[in-house]
Structure 1
Amino acid sequence: MARDRAQLPRSGTTAPPGLARQHDQRRTAFAARGGLVAESVPRAVHPAAHARGLRARPAPARPDQPAVEIGAGVVKLRVDGLSVRFRLPGAVVHAVTDARFELREGRCLALAGESGCGKSVMAHALLGLLPGNADVTGHAWLGPLDLVAAPEKVLARQVRGRMIGLVPQSPAAHLTPVRTARDQLAEALRELGRTEAPDEVAARAGLRPQDLDRYPHQLSGGMAQRVANALALAGDPPLIVADEPTTGLDRPLVDATMAELRRLCDEGRAVLVITHDLRAAERVADDIAVMYAGRIVELSEAGAFFAGPRHPYARGLLDALPTRGFVPIPGQPPELTRLPDGCSFQPRCAQATPACEELPVMSGKGVACHHA
């Protein structure tokens, strides 16, 4: 391992072209480039896409589903009945079911829940980054554009990086190790057709010019996070999606990362934070959406949520925090291939009654529970 580290290029040197090309060929869809992805990434298929001709159209009314309106300001993103299924041999994974929420400019929505509940799948569905075995239904309106029905060419050339900036999970792992931060940011700006200098964009993310001349292995965790933020901001997008931005970070760095995202929000951007860390969410969020087994079960303003969550699962999440008693939720979440017909939380819920054998509907008050 020490020998491999010694062979990494030093600051101010250029990596061998062959090595750089080899890494670029191996990069995944989430590598650097400010949230841009290669057009060869398999596109999940919307079942009605061919019939609709893939044109943006007004969102349909849903009188059977009460609207939950929180906050003020212009709606930047409206998710309406979004569902994601993964087809596997002999099984179907119900990763996201009938998700509905709005995200407004100048506000941060934290989508919270245990690992595996469908949070990141939701984010990837918005960006068209799901694998080919995914079936996506419903709508996600970014202005007049339905992201679910949009073709890959539109997502790659108009949406990723320009309309939505992605801050990926573990940002250091998504930076090209043999190229400086400056090179990667300059490339993102070129691909986006932007005229700003890398230093100018980096300054918006709290980076100094000399920071850009470092390679990823020379960056601290906080510095790598800022480089990821700079890449996400390269196209000056009005919407930022941060996917588990605090994973693997110590608490001071978590706080710094949340402060950076809060700053982006205060500048007028809409910010969607995917997180399992409610302490981090409390620092940054204006609104909270709690997900369990693929469904949003509570949606409310952050102040009201942390003062008194209404769904039993949401209360359990808060009670499990070290600062609130460290009481774990009993049992395990259901398998997403075998969801019950009624409330998925019923087997773990102390309030469960026979009524819970029927699926609860999200009320106009923002909670999907028969007893809330």
Structure 2
Amino acid sequence: MPGGRQVAAVTDAHFDVAEGECLALIGESGCGKSVLASALLGLLPANARTAGHARLGGLDLLTADERTLARTVRGRMIGLIPQSPAAHLTPVRTVRSQLEETVAQLTGVRGRAAVRAAGRAAAARAVFPAGHLDRYPHELSGGLAQRAATALALVGGAPLLLADEPTTGLDRDLVEHTVDELRRHVDTPADTPGSSSGDTRRALLMITHDLAAAERIADRVAVMYAGRLVELTDAKAFFGRPGPRHPYSRGLLQALPDRDFTPIPGMPPELGDLPAGCAFAPRCERATEACGIRPRTTDSVACHHPHLTEGIRA
């Protein structure tokens, strides 16, 4: 915009997600997680700019045109569980009609009875009650809207599932059911073009604040702070021992009620006003003069003073 300023919402985000893997992307609100998800699907505002590459099945998502994204990527190559599910549901269509339309468009199911049965099955996977299928989005609670969006995202069996806060508004039992269903989705062979043996598995990128859900489902964990990835590591090592290496990552775990319940001091910086060096330095008890220079990523952690092998209290 004329007279406006540019803000680097996400910078240097280097990672991959393998077949059969769940990568959990975690970090405080406003750090750029959902912006990253929007970039992969071509859903950024018109004045946003992207650079780099995001490759899926030979296609660069960041340079694909809108026609390709709409007809080939969204729903077919990437299934999305959106952060604000009610806003993504069609307001003048019932949940049943949206599920059945998605089944007809993305699967090989044909015939009225078969499509209707497939829609009910999709709802059941997400524990969406059959008695609410004929309701409109405005008649749903936040948790029901979340379950409807999950059901829609799973219908196409896309090779990559992008779940942006998929457990919002759910009680603990439903959280566990949802992440278990997402795990089954990842572990189930995908019907992808060129795979005759059915041995190609799906991948899941889950953006979440729910660290308990991440621990339950993730193979690896990526931690984002102020628009940058600061740590990428194995989930068992992250949640167990030796624990996270970046002080911010460790602070996230120590803030949990079942851990130390100690909040990270201070507030995250504004993305438009980042310090010259390490963005976490003003909140970090390990910071020194060296942190005035932006740290390079070494051994999957971007920190001048990472924790080494000492564990974190379970």
What TM-score bracket applies, with the shorter chain setting the length? 0.7 to 0.9
Residue 215 of structure 2 corresponds to residue 263 of structure 1: no
Q: Post-superposition shift, 1:264?
A: 1.3
Q: Structure 1 residues 111 and 198 mapped into 2: Cα distance closer, same or farther (>3 Å)?
A: farther
2:124 corresponding residue in structure 1: 206
Q: Give TM-score scaled by structure 2 length.
A: 0.83
Out of 296, 304, 312, the position equivalent to 1:370 is: 304
Which ranges in structure 1 are unaligned for 5 or more consecutive residues? 1-86
Amino acid at match of 1:248: G
The residue correspondences of 1:1-372 to structure 2 (distance < 5 A) are 89-192=3-106, 194-196=108-110, 197-200=115-118, 202-204=120-122, 206-207=124-125, 210-211=130-131, 213-215=133-135, 216=137, 223-267=144-188, 268-307=201-240, 308-363=243-298, 365-372=299-306
Q: Which has the higher strand share?
A: 1
Q: Structure 1 residues 351 and 298 mapped into 2: Cα distance closer, same or farther (>3 Å)?
A: same
Q: Structure 1 residues 237 and 276 mapped into 2: Cα distance closer, same or farther (>3 Å)?
A: same
Q: Post-superposition shift, 1:371?
A: 1.4
Note if contact 1:202-1:227 (Cα within 8 Å) is conserved in structure 2. no
Q: Structure 1 residues 263 and 225 mapped into 2: Cα distance closer, same or farther (>3 Å)?
A: farther
Q: Structure 1 residues 369 and 130 mapped into 2: Cα distance closer, same or farther (>3 Å)?
A: same
Q: Give TM-score scaled by structure 1 length.
A: 0.71
Amino acid at match of 2:286: Q
Q: SS of the counterpart of 2:304?
A: coil
Cα distance in 1, alignment partners of residues 8 and 84 from structure 2: 26
Q: Post-superposition shift, 1:204?
A: 4.7
Q: Structure 1 residues 234 and 309 mapped into 2: Cα distance closer, same or farther (>3 Å)?
A: same
Once the two structures are superposed, residues 123-151 of structure 1 have per-residue CA deviations (whole angstroms, 9 ceiling, x without a partner) of 00000000011010011010211100111
Note if contact 2:122-2:152 (Cα within 8 Å) is conserved in structure 1. no
Q: SS of the counterpart of 1:324?
A: coil
Q: Post-superposition shift, 1:277?
A: 1.8
Q: Structure 1 residues 105 and 164 mapped into 2: Cα distance closer, same or farther (>3 Å)?
A: same
Number of matched residues? Answer: 285
Cα distance in 2, alignment partners of residues 309 and 255 from structure 1: 24
Q: Structure 1 residues 249 and 193 mapped into 2: Cα distance closer, same or farther (>3 Å)?
A: closer
Amino acid at match of 1:369: C
Note if contact 1:180-1:212 (Cα within 8 Å) is conserved in structure 2. no
Q: Post-superposition shift, 1:256?
A: 2.5
Amino acid at match of 1:368: A
Q: Which moved more, 1:107-116 or 1:248-257?
A: 248-257
Aligned CA RMSD, in angstroms, stands at: 2.3
Q: SS of the counterpart of 2:266?
A: coil
Q: SS of the counterpart of 2:15?
A: strand
